[in-house]
């Protein structure tokens, strides 16, 4: 019986596509940040259609980024996304279009006149700013924070974040869509959430976040639950390993 089970397992492995079987790294670990004084963290990464990628993170200077080729070679030095002048910009998220243009979002304290707000900045495929910074949320009472952004191949993008008290019941999750030029075609839309532990089971935004805090009480910062089972995590390190499968490098 044991031999039969082993043979069956081997047959299943052979039936897997080669891309799924070959998940080994294609290079050694490398350092992303050049400036090393103090802490660099909360990193986010996105790839374009050619597997070139951009990494953004937070440090004492503000929100910083760096672009790389598909082979991991730097495409220039670090660049400032948002300078650290006021408001403690932090927790950045980046998304890329197919041609390599990208958008970065983050939250800052104070610029919208009431606690924290969500802001963004677009960049072209060469890493040059495309327009100025823009506000994402229009409801500004209390905290709007922990944004995450995703882009389609054409550069249209959507931002999601958590907002305190906006749904009248603790924190709720809200979103806003933008076209590739940064114009917002839609209003903020509350989205049902999918709990990672209960596939397909929607929960109300405020209750879902509160329940997650209850489940993780005493285990550090609670996770922000996002639509379609996505999860937000702080990333404390800025070291990457490139894998042969594109799916292993988070994309925009």
Q: Which residue has the higher pLDDT, 206 or 105?
A: 105
Query: Residue 226 and residue 69: Cα distance in Å, rounded?
Result: 29
Does the pLDDT value for residue 211 go beyond 50? no
Contact 217, 5 (CB under 8 A): no
> Is residue 82 over pLDDT 60?
yes
Give residues with Cβ within 8 angstroms of 199, minimum separation 6.
229
Min mean pLDDT across 40-44, 53-57, 64-68, 106-110 is at 106-110
Could you report the per-residue pLDDT of 85-125, keeping only the tens digit for each?
677 899 999 999 999 999 999 999 877 777 899 999 999 99
| Whole-prediction pTM | 0.68
93 burial type by CB count under 10 A (0-12 exposed, 13-18 middle, 19+ buried): buried
Distance CA 123, CA 139 (A): 25
Residue 213 has pLDDT above 80, yes or no: no
Residue 130 has pLDDT above 70, yes or no: yes
pLDDT in tens, 232-247: 333 344 555 554 443 3
Task: Provide φ and ψ at 116, rounded to 5°.
Answer: -95, 150
| Poorest-pLDDT segment among 8-17, 140-149, 207-216 | 207-216
Domain residue limits, the chain: 41-248
């Amino acid at each position: 019986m044991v031999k039969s089970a082993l043979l069956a397992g081997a047959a299943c492995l052979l039936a897997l596509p080669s891309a799924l079987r070959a998940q080994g790294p294609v290079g050694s670990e490398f350092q992303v940040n050049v400036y090393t004084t103090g802490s660099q963290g909360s990193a986010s990464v996105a790839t374009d259609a050619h597997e070139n990628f951009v990494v953004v993170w937070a440090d004492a200077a503000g929100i910083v980024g760096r672009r790389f080729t598909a082979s991991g070679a730097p495409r220039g030095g670090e660049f400032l996304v948002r300078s650290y002048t006021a408001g403690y910009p932090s927790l950045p998220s980046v998304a890329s279009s197919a041609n390599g243009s990208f958008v970065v979002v983050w939250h800052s304290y104070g610029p919208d006149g009431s606690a924290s707000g969500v802001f963004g900045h677009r960049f072209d495929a060469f890493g040059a700013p495309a327009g100025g910074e823009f506000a994402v949320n229009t409801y500004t009472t209390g905290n709007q924070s922990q944004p995450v952004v995703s882009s389609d191949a054409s550069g249209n993008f959507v931002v999601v974040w958590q907002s305190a008290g906006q749904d009248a019941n603790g924190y709720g999750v809200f979103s806003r869509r933008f076209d590739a030029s940064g114009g917002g075609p839609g209003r903020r839309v509350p989205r049902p959430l999918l709990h990672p532990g209960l596939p397909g089971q929607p929960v109300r935004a405020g209750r879902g976040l509160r329940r997650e805090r209850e489940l993780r009480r005493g285990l550090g910062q609670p996770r922000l639950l996002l639509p379609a089972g996505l999860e937000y995590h702080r990333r404390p390190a800025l070291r990457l390993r490139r894998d042969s499968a594109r799916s292993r490098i988070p994309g925009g």
